[in-house]
Structure 1
Amino acid sequence: MPDHIHIFVDVRQTVASCDVARTLKSIGAIELFKAYPQLKKFYAKCGALWSGGYFVSTVECISESTVIKYIEEQKDDK
């Protein structure tokens, strides 16, 4: 999956999904820039590391293993 990632997280219902996405993107960018300083130079010239959008879906009636299996199978489709 070279152009996107899947992240499966468990958060309280009182936490807004936009806050989770924003935090993951922010911390992810900080850590990537620390590990790969050349990325910071590149993205300073051409824009943001992450796109502005995100997709969130809730899981209620299926098991954790079903979600993990779905994510793993996405690798085979690309």
Structure 2
Amino acid sequence: MKEKRGRGYVYSIQYHLVWCVKYRKKILKDNIEDTLKMKLKQIALENKFDILEMECDKDHVHLLVDCSPQHYIPNIIKALKGVSARAMFKEHPEIKNELWGGSLWNPSYYVSTISDTTEEQIRRYIQSQKEK
């Protein structure tokens, strides 16, 4: 991953994000999936973070997100899930019936940090600092 620069700092921050459709309903297909992907890209652009990879299965979404240190992961998730749900219900009202009039997304999500360095490499680097 390429490092980026801010004012007085260098960073490389990526997250793997996954969240599911409520009740694991298999509704993310065809034009619904296309609409969702377009909306998620728009949300990322508006919130100044990048989606490096994105894929939807019929009942969940995977993203690889690149962001700055100023981004707070719960806010990114809130923007992605909240704004996309409102947009999807507006553009595809038929999915509301599939979900019995409820929410589009399950309230939980998965997040992990991504690095081109392993935990063991970082541990060795930190431990070796006193030796220098």
Do these two structures clear the TM 0.5 threshold for a shared fold by scoring above it? yes
**Larger strand percent:** 2
Q: In 2 relative to 1, CA 29–4 (structure 1 residues): closer, same or farther, beyond 3 Å? A: same
| 1:57 corresponds to 2:116 | no
Shift of 1:33: 1.3
**Larger helix percent:** 1
CA RMSD of aligned residues (A): 1.8
Q: Following the alignment from structure 2 to structure 1, what is the Cα–Cα distance between the partners of residues 86 and 80?
A: 10
List runs of 5+ in structure 1 lacking aligned partners: 63-78
Q: Following the alignment from structure 1 to structure 2, what is the Cα–Cα distance between the partners of residues 53 and 60?
A: 23
Shift of 1:59: 1.5
Shift of 1:47: 2.3
Shift of 1:46: 4.4
Q: Following the alignment from structure 1 to structure 2, what is the Cα–Cα distance between the partners of residues 47 and 37?
A: 12
The alignment's TM-score, normalised by the length of structure 2, stands at 0.40
The alignment's TM-score, normalised by the length of structure 1, stands at 0.62
Which structure ranks higher in relative contact order (CA pairs < 8 Å, sequence separation ≥ 6)? 1
Q: How many residues align?
A: 60
1:39 aligned residue: 95
